[in-house]
Amino acid sequence: MTRARTLSTPQPLSRRRVDTVLTRYARNQRAVSGLLLLTAIVAFLIVGTLIFTPEDVEDTNLRHRNAPPSLEFPFGTDSVGRNVMARAVYGGQVSLAVALLASVVTVAVGAPLGLLAGYYRGWVDSVIMRLAEALLSIPLLFLLLALSRAMRTTFADFDLLGRELSGSVITLILIIGVTGWMPLARLIRASTLSLAAQDYVLAARALGAGHARILWHHILPNTLSLIIVYGSLAAAQAILLESYVSFLGLGIQAPAPSWGNMIQRSVELIDRAPWLWLFPGGLMALTVVSIGWIGDGLRDSL
C-alpha cells in the first residue's frame, strides 16, 4: 500500500516561496479540485453535526429497519433502524480525526528518527534503519490487527465534546501512527545526508553552532516540504487503514461509529441494503481521492 514516490530536492520555505508555491498550486487543476472536494466533505460533516444530535446517531427505530434512502433518511437506515446519514456524519468525524492525528504521530516519530539517522550516521543510522526495514517486512494490516488486539483494554472509554468515545480511538491513532513512520524516516534521512554535507551547514558548525541548533535551524526547515507532502499522504493512507481494521472488528468500537465499523455488518445484508456500504464507503473513497490529489499537488508545487 506504500508506494515509492519520487520527491525533488527540498528547498527551504521562505515567505516568498510560499507565495510561488500557492500560485503553482492554484494552477494545478487536480490539486484545486482535491481541495474543493475535501472542503465539501468537511462542510458536509460540519453542517451534518448542526442538523443531527448525538442522540440521532444511536436512536433505533424498529419500524424503519433497513429502509432504503428516502427524504426522511437520505442514506437509508440500518438493521436496527438507525439513521445512516447521521451515523455517516459522526462516523466521518471520528475517521477523519483518527487519520489526522495518526499522521501527526507518524510525522512526530518519523521526522526526528530520519533526522537523527541522517545526521549522526554510524550506529545510530544502522539501528534506526534496520528497525525500519524490520517493521516494513511485517505485513502492515496483520501488525495493526495484532497490536489492536494486544492493546484492547489499554485505554478506557472517555467523553469528548459531550460525546461518548471508545478508548479504541486512541489505540488506533497510536498504532496507525507508530507503524507508518518508516518511509518518512527514510526520505528525511536521505535528504539530511545531503543537507548535512552542504557548505552552509559546515559554515554554521565552524561558527560554533551545536548539533541541536544545526538540526533545528538549518536542516529541519529544509525538510519541511517532504514532511508536509508525506504527512498528507499518510493521512489518506490512515483513513483506509482505520477503515480496514474497524471493518474487521478490531478497530473503533461502539458506541462511536466510524466509516469502517459502519460497513462491518453490511456484508450479511448485501442483497437487501446496499446503502449500508455505498454511502460510508463512497464518502471514504472521495476523502482518500481528495487528500491524494492535494498531496500530489503539494509535491508538484513545493
Partner 1 sequence: MTRYILRRLLEGVVLLFIVSFILFALAYSFGDPVAVLTDGSAPPTGEEADRLRRALGLDQPLPRQYLYWLIGNDWTLIDADGDGDTDEGIYGQRRGILRGDLGTSLITRQPTADRIADRLPNSLLLMIPSYILVLMITLGIGIIAARRPGSRLDTVLTTLAQVGYALPIFFICLALIYVFAVQFRRWGLPHLPIAGMVDLSQPRTPGNLIRHLVLPVASLTIVQLAGYVRFVRASILDVIGQEYIRTARSKGLPERRVIGLHVLKPAALPLITLVGLDLPSLLGGAVVTETIFAYPGMGLLFLDSLNAGDFPVVMGILILVSSAVIVAQLVTDLAYVWLDPRVSLQGGAR
Smallest distance from partner 1 to CB 159, Å: 27
Pick from 7, 135, 209, 220 the residue near partner 1 by CB under 8 A.
Answer: 135
Query: What is the footprint of partner 1 within residues 215-274 (CB under 8 A)?
Result: 236, 240, 243-244, 247-250, 263, 266-267, 270-271, 274
Look up residue 94 and give its three cell numbers.
Answer: 471520528
Residue partners of 7: CB distance under 8 A and separation at least 6: 187, 226, 229, 299
Nearer to partner 1, 157 or 268 (CB): 268
Q: Do residues 225 and 85 touch, judged by C-beta distance below 8 A?
A: no
Smallest distance, Å, CB 162 to partner 1? 30
DSSP string, 41-69: HHHHHHHHHHHS-HHHHH---GGGTTPPP
- For the bound state, the minimum distance from the C-beta of residue 181 to partner 1, rounded and expressed in Å, comes to 14
The answer to whether 277 contacts partner 1 (rule: CB under 8 A) is: yes
80 binds partner 1 (CB under 8 A): no
Mapped onto helix, strand or coil, the DSSP state of residue 175 is helix
Query: Looking at beta carbons only, is 214 or 241 nearer to partner 1?
Result: 241
Q: How far, in Å, CA of 268 to CA of 169, rounded?
A: 25
Residue 284 C-beta: closest distance to partner 1, Å = 6
Q: At what angle do helices 275-301 and 84-120 cross, to 10 degrees?
A: 30
CA 258 from chain centre, in angstroms, equals: 14
Of 204 and 244, the one with the shorter C-beta distance to partner 1 is: 244
End-to-end CA distance of the chain: 24
Nearer to partner 1, 28 or 266 (CB): 266
Under the binding rule (CB under 8 A), the answer on residue 112 touching partner 1 is no
**Residue count at the site for partner 1 (CB under 8 A)?**
45
Does 159 help bind partner 1 (rule: CB under 8 A)? no
Q: Which is nearer to partner 1, 203 or 270 (CB)?
A: 270
Contact flag: residue 68 with partner 1 (CB under 8 A) = no
**Residue among 183, 208, 187 nearest 133 (CA):** 183
DSSP-assigned states of every residue in 187-203? HHHHHHHHHHTSHHHHH
Q: Among 45-53, 114-122, 149-157, 190-198, which window interacts with partner 1 (CB under 8 A)?
A: 149-157
Name which of 21 and 147 has its Cβ closer to partner 1.
Answer: 147
Q: Does 210 bind partner 1 (CB under 8 A)?
A: no
Backbone φ and ψ of 248, nearest 5°:
-80, 0
Helix (H, G, I), strand (E, B) or coil at 232: helix
Residue 146 within binding range of partner 1, rule CB under 8 A:
yes
What does the block give as the cell for 268?
A: 450479511
Among 138, 202, 203, 254, binds partner 1 (CB under 8 A): 138
What is the maximal distance between C-alpha atoms in the chain? Answer: 78
Tell me how far, at minimum, the Cβ of 229 lies from partner 1, in Å.
16
Q: Exposure pattern of 226-247 as b/e (b: 16+ CB <10 Å)?
A: bbbbbbbbbbbbbbbbbbbbbb
63 sits near partner 1 (criterion: CB under 8 A): no
Interacting residues with partner 1 (CB under 8 A): 1-4, 130-131, 133-143, 145-147, 149-151, 236, 240, 243-244, 247-250, 263, 266-267, 270-271, 274, 277, 281-282, 284-285, 288-289, 292
